[in-house]
Amino acid sequence: MLKENDIRLEGAGANEGQSRAPDAARGTQAHATARPHSAWSLLATASATCALIALDTNIVAVSLPSIARSFHAGFADVEWVVSAYMVSFASCLLPMGGLADRYGRRKMLLLGLLAFALSSLGCGLAPSIGFLNIWRAAKGVGAAMLLTAALAAIAHAFPGPRERARAWAVWGMTMGIATTVAPLVGGLITQWVGWRWVFLLNLPVCGVLVLSALRSVPDSRNPQAGPVDFAGSLSFGMGLASGIWALIGTQNVGWASPLTSLRFAACALLITLFIAIEKRRRHAVVDLSLFSQARFVAAVLGMFGYAACAQVMMTFLPLYLQNAFEWTPIRAGVGMLPFALSMIVGPYVGARIGRHVTASTSTLSIGLVLVGAGNLLTATLAQLNDYGWTALGMIVTGLGAGVLNGDTQKAIMACVPSHRTGMASGISTTTRFTAIVTSVGVLGAVLASRTQSAIDTAMSCGASGRTCVDARFMSDLLAGDIGHALSRLAPDVQRAMASIAPAGFATGFAAALSVAGCLALVVALVIWLLAGRRRTTERQNVVQS
């Protein structure tokens, strides 16, 4: 779910206070300055590498129902197809940036391509959903290696502010195109040749990129790179995984289960350990003192709200279009276009808003209000079983997402001095992926609960305190395998459930969207209040001085 203007790790986010200027002063960028055409070849290779990650991340969402039908997998298993990848991706971003600085960005890029290709092969040949999710986690590690190395290589090859701005514009355009076409490409591949080729087609692409990287990417590193904070990264990753495990597991064991409590407790303990480690380490992956600034907290909240309430729709919208409307993967990919295309228009809307507001946090609040309004509008219209009206809500959400996509990163970077940009970028993107994977767990739980309630009500089971269908039926339905879910019911019940189940899913989807919409509005309000607090503090400081 990578989007345009995603992280720009200019080396190791883990190494606070280390400017990239010393690296440049030592002449390690000689390849780029001596041969300008080589720098642009590097840009093409690095941008294509990042576009591959964006395509792969967003293509998979369209193929989830087909994966579920192939393995007869439940909804929790399908959620892990997304979550296993996102958890490992978010956990590895910061340490991989440090490794790229220490051992060389070209080496890390090549190693990342190899890891990405091998894990794609494992995903494409996976004999079960369990093996698929293991390989998806491995793929997240490879994607983190690729992204950090590619972005650091771009920043290194274009040291001047003007040429770097042009380079990021080209990179951003490439990412925007990849994100826009991903749902349609995913639908075409899934429907025409099968979901396994969503992963297997990465192999020849990775081969081409390896050859291109060998020819166009010179090696560079930061000779002053500090030690990588593996302890902090490991505790954060395990804590995040425990929390997601708890959220997704509630669909099988319930919220009151001791297992759920144990997993949440493990999450809290590991995150507490992570904070303790970061406070004591000199070269921490996260400088916690940044969070004492109201402006920085507001910017990070903006990124969290954007990812949790808007970007997560790239996962849930394809499920909704295929389950509620019973569309094919190709048609679902086309149905995603209003959301994707409005995201392209959104940054221009954000630029116009920026001309009339002075603070970047105000733009974030406006963008989140648009996302909240769009989600609530879509939630209201989703149960009408009319795609035209649903698309209207998707457009509003997409516009808000586009506004935030252009401004969340800038807002975070504006809060820190230049020598901390690597760390700030790492915090930004780690926040993004953490928000997405957490939102998948929370909204998935809401979707499951409300869909169950809607079906029980329609079948007149709710009043008696029992459920009309078992947990396995619900799991198959939510995953998109409605045929397998219906096959285990009596013939007369099948006929009734064939229409009730899609309507119930639409109700559950509307409830999940309502939660996302309300969260976006709450975050918008908090950001607005934090911005007001900052302005008050600044006025007091002026008066005192």
Range with top average pLDDT, 176-180, 244-248, 466-470, 508-512: 508-512
Mean pLDDT across 511-529? 94
pLDDT band with cut points at 50, 70 and 90 for residue 26: very low
d(C-alpha 226, C-alpha 18), whole Å: 9
The answer to whether 224 and 78 are in contact (CB under 8 A) is no
d(C-alpha 443, C-alpha 437), whole Å: 10
Residue 50, both tokens: 């990042």
- For residue 127, give the DSSP letter: S
d(C-alpha 405, C-alpha 67), whole Å: 30
User: What is the tens place of the pLDDT at every residue in 45-101?
Assistant: 989 998 898 888 788 888 988 998 899 888 888 889 988 898 888 888 878 877 777
Calculate what percentage of the chain has a pLDDT beyond 70. 84
pTM of the predicted model as reported, rounded to 2 decimal places: 0.80
User: What is the tens place of the pLDDT at every residue in 155-206?
Assistant: 778 877 778 778 877 887 788 788 888 888 888 999 899 999 999 999 999 9
pLDDT at 463 over 70: no
Residue 274, both tokens: 């992570």
Higher pLDDT among residues 150 and 513, named by residue? 513
User: What is the tens place of the pLDDT at every residue in 347-385?
Assistant: 787 777 777 766 556 788 999 999 999 999 999 988 787
pLDDT at 134 over 90: yes
At 225 the pLDDT is 61
User: What is the tens place of the pLDDT at every residue in 208-240?
Assistant: 999 999 988 887 776 666 677 778 888 888 888
Range with top average pLDDT, 15-24, 476-485, 526-535: 476-485
Cα end-to-end span (Å), the chain: 46
Higher pLDDT among residues 179 and 445, named by residue? 445
Mean pLDDT across 239-247? 87
Neighbours of 115 (CB within 10 A): 20
Higher pLDDT among residues 464 and 113, named by residue? 113
Higher pLDDT among residues 301 and 456, named by residue? 301
pLDDT at 402 over 50: yes
